[in-house]
Amino acid sequence: MSSPHFKCTVQVQPLAEQTDAEQGRWAYSYTITIANDGDLAGQLIGREWEILDSQGHRQQVRGLAVVGHQPFLQPGEQFQYSSWATIATPQGSMKGRYLCVTEAAEVFWADVPEFLLADSASLH
């Protein structure tokens, strides 16, 4: 039986030019690759994120599209975009998911596994 599935991978980079430790603001860029590894075409419609800092402060973000795009992906195709987030501590995490729909109007979710917001150089 055919099924839709989008696999999401993430790369994170600190944004030194947007970070201001004295103001309690650490910024991170993240690049997400969304790959259609299912056997049905689908379109990303919206997203929801949960952003946590190391003190447990939570931000929730919901909305349509990603960086102004609602990509339609055939099996084997992928879409990549970059965005950024700020948190109030040097380390935190993000996780989320994308609301997607097939051509037959079947709704499915593409999960983005939790990933660390941290400067890997400061973790050693």
pLDDT at 83: 97
Q: Which helix (H) or strand (E) covers residue 70, if one does?
A: none
pTM, two decimals, is 0.92
Residue 122 has pLDDT above 90, yes or no: no
Residue 105 has pLDDT above 60, yes or no: yes
> Which of 50, 63, 45, 55 minimizes the C-alpha distance to 6?
45
Residue 26 amino acid letter: W
Domains identified in the chain and CATH numbers = 6-118 (2.60.40.1470)
What CA–CA distance (Å, rounded) separates 16 from 26?
Answer: 8
Summarize the confidence of residues 2-11 as an average pLDDT: 96
The residues that bridge with 33 in the sheet, in sequence order, are 9, 80
